[in-house]
Amino acid sequence: MKKSLFTLLVAAVALTTIAASARADVSLPKCFSDNGVFQREKPICVWGWADPGEEVTVSFNGMSATTTACEHGNWKVSLPSQEASFEGKDLVVKGKNTITFTNILVGEVWICSGQSNMEMPLNSWGQPRLACTEEEISGDYSFIRFNRPNHVITEEELKDVATEGWKVCKDGVQANCTACGFHFALRLYNELNVPVGLIDSNWGGSNINSWIPDAGWNQVPETVEVGQKLIAARPEAKDWDKCGGMYNAMLAPWKGYNFRGAIWYQGCTNAGEHEFYYYKQKAMIREWRKIFENGDFPFYWVQLAPFTDPKDDPNDTGDWPYLRNGQTMCMEVANTGQAVIIDAGEIKDIHPRNKWIVGNRLALWALANAYGKNVECCSPMVATADFADGKVALTFNHVGEGLVAGKLNDRTFEKTGDQLNRFAIAGADGKFVWAKAEIVAPNKVVVSAEGVDPTAVRYAWQMFPENCNLYSSEGLPATPFEIKK
């Protein structure tokens, strides 16, 4: 039944696209609709279909361009870049017929992709959560717009996207907007005073394989063979497992639509792959940057939050610490950043409720790197580890005004001065024990355990590292790590 419905849906999308390109009326993909947002300070690209040889004129806010549809009925124009504007303008496309899209803004546009923790909307699918306040879910945030593609998987790239078009965040419409993306957008608006548009393209439970274009597997040597096998298996794979299938249907149609960058929240489904996830995410980032012709656009992701019951044994780690480490490794890719939320997980719930903290920590990366604001965005990370005299002296980068012990309270950070938790060391036998950790300088922590000559040290190296409490003074939690002598 699932296969039949999927086949019918793909056929319907394909027929719609073919019909659009075959009829005389000029038409556009559903990336364009009323209430949309164009990226400021970049050319405004508009494209679609018409009769071969048909003249098409596109006008927006006093600018216009004219072209002729090619022999296949395709056309594309590029209008000059414009400054941000909260005043809705008309996009007019004229061929043998005229199409007018109204209330278009110019501002910042971001892709929001991944699996359920990015898909999770402000209404939390009707469950009682803390994703937003009552005002956020029902108030007037017309300066935030989102376009959420339907869930579709295809083996080939589509020219059009299945979506209801751009939605305005007011009168409760935002209840269906990505919660991470909404809080990210709201922080950008508050800091930049510009409209924000979100391409809300995500699918709960999805594997990163589904978001990697076929050519992307060749971007990283370690993924070439993996990609070849996945592509060869695609015709027989279940719809859900078709590599590249979600990219093909839900992102490929946006090629040509300018945006500032992407935020990404995914990894749960790939947790068993441990650090190999690093290679896959790197391959995806490189290929997205190539395909969207947007330069090395900013790409920021969320490190996996804690999940499952806390464990008393520091050797009982589960898979997630290794996946998290793979995510951290990916920071070596240029113009990327990681929002650490090791303090914001839920026992027995894979969907952390506090999406405000997720969106805001992602926004810090954008504000600092994409927009040049003077804010601390990176969580503390170990720079060096000195094993000597039965202790490990750790120095950290990105500590702000200094390392502190603290805790997160909903949307606020509190310095507590408590003893540091969730540090562990191992001796020659490789067995980890909980350790004493002390902040001895603004950027330095010394770790030790009685009777252990350490050969390895870990912090927050469990699926649910309960009460891990090392922060920068700015309230960013330290990045989990494992270091061997």
- What is the Cα–Cα distance from 457 to 67, expressed in whole angstroms? 63
Tell whether the model's pLDDT for residue 125 goes beyond 80.
Answer: yes
Q: How confident is the model at residue 4 (pLDDT cuts 50, 70, 90)?
A: very low
Q: Is 191 exposed, middle or buried (0-12, 13-18, 19+ CB in 10 A)?
A: middle
Structural tokens at position 87: 């005043």
Position 349 scores a pLDDT of: 87
Q: Assess whether pLDDT exceeds 50 at residue 3.
A: no
Task: Give residue-wise pLDDT tens across range 173-224.
Answer: 999 999 999 999 999 999 999 999 999 999 999 999 999 999 999 999 999 9
Give dist(CA 184, CA 50) in Å, integer.
38
Q: With 90 as the cut, is the pLDDT of residue 337 above it?
A: yes
- φ, ψ dihedrals at 132, nearest 5°: -165, 170
Q: pLDDT tier at 239 (50, 70, 90 boundaries)?
A: confident
Residue 6 pLDDT exceeds 60: no
Residue 467 pLDDT grade (very low, low, confident, very high; cuts 50, 70, 90): very high
Q: Which of 435, 129, 425, 462 is nearest to 309 (CA)?
A: 462
Q: How many CB atoms lie within 10 A of CB 138?
A: 16
Q: Residues near 62 by Cβ (< 8 Å), separated by ≥ 6?
A: none
User: With contact defined as beta carbons under 8 Å apart, do 457 and 394 qualify?
Assistant: yes
pTM of the predicted protein model: 0.94
Instruction: Say if residue 23's pLDDT is above 60.
Output: no
Domains of the chain, start order: 2-105 (2.60.40.10), 134-370 (3.40.50.1110), 381-484 (no CATH)
Question: Is the CB of residue 46 less than 8 Å from the CB of residue 67?
Answer: no
- 394: helix, coil or strand? strand
Which one has a higher pLDDT value, 162 or 4? 162
Q: What is the pLDDT of residue 16?
A: 47
Mean pLDDT rounded to a whole number for the chain:
94
pLDDT at 128: 66
Q: Are strands 381-388 and 436-441 parallel, antiparallel or unpaired?
A: unpaired
Residue 2 has what pLDDT? 38
- pLDDT at position 436 is 98
Q: Which amino acid is at 64?
A: S
Asked if residue 66 lies in contact with residue 77, where contact means CB atoms within 8 angstroms, the answer is yes
> Is the model's pLDDT at 127 over the cut of 90?
no
Per-residue pLDDT tens over the stretch 343-373: 999 888 899 889 999 999 999 999 999 999 9
Rounded CA-CA distance 381/370 in Å is: 21
pLDDT at 26: 97
* For residue 18, pLDDT beyond 70: no
Residue range 475-485: mean pLDDT, rounded: 97
The percent helix, strand, coil of the chain (3-state, each to 5) is 30, 30, 40
Sort 87 into a burial class: Cβ within 10 Å, 0-12 / 13-18 / 19+. Answer: exposed
For residue 207 the two structure tokens come to 């594997």
Q: Which two tokens stand for residue 331?
A: 């920071």
Helix (DSSP H) and strand (DSSP E) numbers for the chain: 9, 24
What confidence score (pLDDT) does residue 124 get?
Answer: 87
Least confident span in 33-37, 75-79, 134-138, 329-333 = 134-138
- Of the listed ranges 146-155, 286-295, 376-385, the least confidently predicted one is 286-295
The 10s digit of each residue's pLDDT in 68-99 is: 999 999 999 999 999 999 999 999 999 999 99
Residue 27: per-residue pLDDT = 97
Over residues 320-347, the mean pLDDT reads 97
Does the pLDDT at position 20 exceed 70? no
